[in-house]
Amino acid sequence: MRLLIEKSGGEFKAGLAALEDNRRPAAREKFDRSIEVFLMSGINLNSNNNSRARECYNQLIETIYRIEFPNDKQAPQIRGLSATCNWNIDNAMADKIAKRVMTAPLAEPNLDTNAVQPVSNDLTQGFVEQKFERSALDVLATLELNTIELDVDTPEAQQQIQYISYAVNNNSLGLKFQVHPMIQQYINYYQGRGRSTMETGLYRSGMFMRMARRIFREEGVPENVAWLGQVESMWKPQALSWAAASGLWQFIPGTGARYGLRRTAYLDERNSFEKATQASARYLKFLANRYNGNWELAMAAYNSGEGNVDRAISRAGVANFWIAYPYLPKETRNYVPNILATILIANNPRAYGFGNVRPAPQLTWETVLVPPGTSLSFLAQVSDTSVDFIRYLNPELRAASTPPEPYVVRVPSGKGAEVVAIFRRVPRASQNTAKLTKSVAGESWQNVSNRTGVAVEDLIAANGGAKTPPSKIVVPNSNNVRSTSYQRPTSQPQTTAVASFVTVKARAGDTITSLAKRFGVAPADVANANGFTDVNAKLAAGRAIKIPKR
C-alpha cells in the first residue's frame, strides 16, 4: 500500500512541476496518471483495511478538481493533500500554485462538443481544457533518425537483425514481412532517445492488449498486428491527430463511417474500446486481402489510404513496400518499420532492454443497458464512482448523458448487478434529476425524510415502493431537499439558503466523528450531509463541513 501511494505521489508531484512551468497538457497527463495508479491497482478503497489509501485518493481527486476548476472561495489544499498522503511536497511550490490558480480568472468552458479546444500555454486558461490528447502519429510524422540510430553495423545491431530473420523465417510472430535495416534503426531509436515512449506504450498496452488480441483473432487478423495501436495512439482512447483521426485506432471520420462507427452529438464510436477495435481489424483484413496478404502494404494503406499506396506501387512497378518506399508520404515511410520494430520489442522485451516494464493491469468493466438519455452523474452515483471514471470507461460519450436510445454503458467491475437493480427499482421519472443517499442500519423512512426534507410517500415512490429504506436511497428532486449527500464531497461553503445546517471549518486532525461529537449530532448525519461514507475520514484543516441543526 505504501508503494502504491508513493507511486501516485510521484506522478502528482511531476504534474505540479509541469504546471509550474506552464506545461498544462503534461500536467494533465501526470495528474491523470496519479489517479490511474489507484484505479488500476485493483484494491478496494472502501475496505477498512485501506483507509489510508482511501483518504489519500479522495483528497487527491478533490485537489486536482480544485486546481482545474478553482473558485474565489476555496483554494486547492495541496499542503493538506501532502500531509494526508505523506508526499513531502515543497510548501513554497504548493502555495505558489494554489495562489496562481486562485488569482487567474478562468474562461468559461466551451460546451460545443464538436469542437476540439486548443492547448494554451497561458495558466489563466486552466492547465488544460480539451478532452483529447495529442496523437503519437503527430510526432511520428516529423521524426528524423540521427546518425547513431541509423548505424546498424554494430555487433549488437547485427545480432538483433539475425534474431529478426530467425523470427520471420519461423513465423513465430504470426505474420511475414521483409527484413530491412530500417526496422533495426527504429529498434535503435527505441533503445535510445525513444526509450520513454516505448516504456509508456508497453505499460499502457496492458489495459487493452488482451481485448485487442481477442478481437483481431476473431476477425482473422494476426494478433501481433494489434501492436499497430501503440504506434497509432499510445493506447490512449481519446488521442486526436492533426488530421482529425481519433481513438485507439485513429480513424478519420470518413473511414470510421465506412466501418460503421457512428458520430453524433452524443457519441463518437471511433473512441469506443470494442467497436473501434473491431472496425480496425476489419479494415486491416480488407487491406491485407487487397494487397494479397502483404502486411507491410496493408499497414501503409491503413496510415495513408489505399490511393496513396496504389499510386506508389504503380510508380515502383511492383507491390513491395520497400521498393515503393520512396513514393510514399514521409509519415508512412516512418510508420511501417516503426510498427514492425514495436512488434519485435513487445514480443521479446527483455532481449531489447525492456524487461523492467510491467504492463498495466487489464482495464476491466461490466456492461449494463441503461434507459435513453441517462445522466452520467446519476450513473456515477449508482455505480459508486465519479463522472470522470464513467467517462474514462466510456470515452465515446460526448455529452453529459447517454444517447436518446437504450444504450449499453461500461461501469466499474463488480457494480453491474447493483446498477441494474437500482434502475429496475427506480421509476423512470425519478432518474437523472434525483440524487442518492445511503441509509444507516435500522433507519426508517421517517428518519430519511427528516434529514432530506422529502416526504415519506415521495421517497417510497421514488424507490419502487420499498417497505424499508434500501442501502442506497433515491431522493427525488424537490425544492425542499436539504441533504442528498451522495455526491463527491465538495469544499465549497454552502449558501445561507439552506437553513437546516450550519457550516463550520474543520480543524487539523478533525474527523467526521470528532466534529459530530463537538456539536452533539450523530456522525452518520454529518457524513450523509457532506457526502462521506466513512465517519472516521480525516478532514483537511479549513475544509467547510455542514452540521445538521439539532
Residue of 133, 149, 232, 269 with catalytic role: 232
> Which grid cell sits at 262?
457512428
d(CA 167, CA 286): 25
Q: Which amino acid does the sequence have at 267?
A: L
CB 266 within 8 A of CB 399: yes
Q: Sign of the C-alpha dihedral, residues 447, 448, 451, 452?
A: negative
Inter-CA distances, 69 with 45, 65, 403, Å: 25, 6, 27
d(CA 234, CA 236): 6
Which residue is associated with the grid cell 499510386?
311
Inter-CA distances, 458 with 23, 428, 463, Å: 50, 14, 9
**Is 274 labeled as catalytic in the residue annotation?**
no
Contacts of 429 (CB under 8 A, 6+ apart): none
Kindly give the residue spans of alpha helices, DSSP state H, lying in 400-464.
Answer: 416-425, 445-452, 456-462
- Of 266, 267, 318, whose CA–CA distance to 291 is shortest? 318
Largest CA distance in the chain: 88
- Strand 501-505 to strand 544-548: parallel, antiparallel, or no bridges (unpaired)? antiparallel
CB 542 within 8 A of CB 503: no
CB 248 within 8 A of CB 234: no
Supply angle C-alpha 282, 174, 158, rounded to 5. Answer: 125
Q: Which residues pair with 473 in a beta bridge?
A: 437
Q: Which amino acid does the sequence have at 321?
A: F
H or E stretch at 322? helix 321-324
Number of H helices, E strands in the chain: 24, 8
- Of 362, 354, 378, whose CA–CA distance to 195 is shortest? 354
- Of 247, 298, 244, whose CA–CA distance to 277 is shortest? 247
H or E stretch at 203? helix 195-218
Phi, psi of 320 (to 5 degrees): -135, 125
> Looking at the annotation, which residues are catalytic?
232
